[in-house]
Structure formats: C-alpha cells, structure tokens
Amino acid sequence: AHPGRQGIIDKLITDSGDLVVLHGNVSRFANSNEGWLRSDETKTDIRFTAYRHHFKPRIGDRVTFNIGFNYGGPFAIKMERL
C-alpha cells in the first residue's frame, strides 16, 4: 500500500455534522488484528482493525461504532462494547 493512502479520509456524518452512530455485532476475524462486524442498520459486514480500539473485540460482542472511509472503503471506527 502506498503510505499516502493510509488513515481516515472521510467520516459518515449527519446533516448537522455529528458522527452517525451505528449498532452491530462482531461477526468474524481474518486474523488477530482484522475483523468484521455486521451492522444492524446497513445489514452489511464492515471491516475493523482490532488494535485501534480500547478493548479486545470478540465474536458476538454487541457494539456501537461510527464509519470512517479510506482508500480501501468503509471501516468501523470508535467501536464501543455494549
């Protein structure tokens, strides 16, 4: 990957500029660092990076999260376990 193509380039926000809060469940892991959660609202799988959160996600965890975008597409940011 090109070093300039890392990090968040945009976020999903409301018309008033607040981050959209979504809900879902951690559904699977590709490895110890990367996984996916299933969004209640979009009914799609959204990628996340485990080390970017202040808890260790586990399959089945119920979470809230926001959506960030980078050159690889959408991914979950600011995940919080419920």
- At position 20, the amino acid (one-letter code) is V
What does pTM read for this prediction? 0.86
Query: Which long-range contacts link 60-63 to residues 24+ away (Cβ below 8 Å)?
Result: 60/25, 60/26, 61/25, 61/26, 62/23, 62/24, 62/25, 63/23, 63/24, 63/25, 63/26, 63/37
- Full pLDDT tens readout for the chain, 82 residues: 555 556 788 999 999 999 999 999 999 999 988 999 999 999 999 999 887 778 889 999 999 999 999 888 899 999 999 9
Report the pLDDT value the prediction gives residue 82, as an integer from 0 to 100. 94
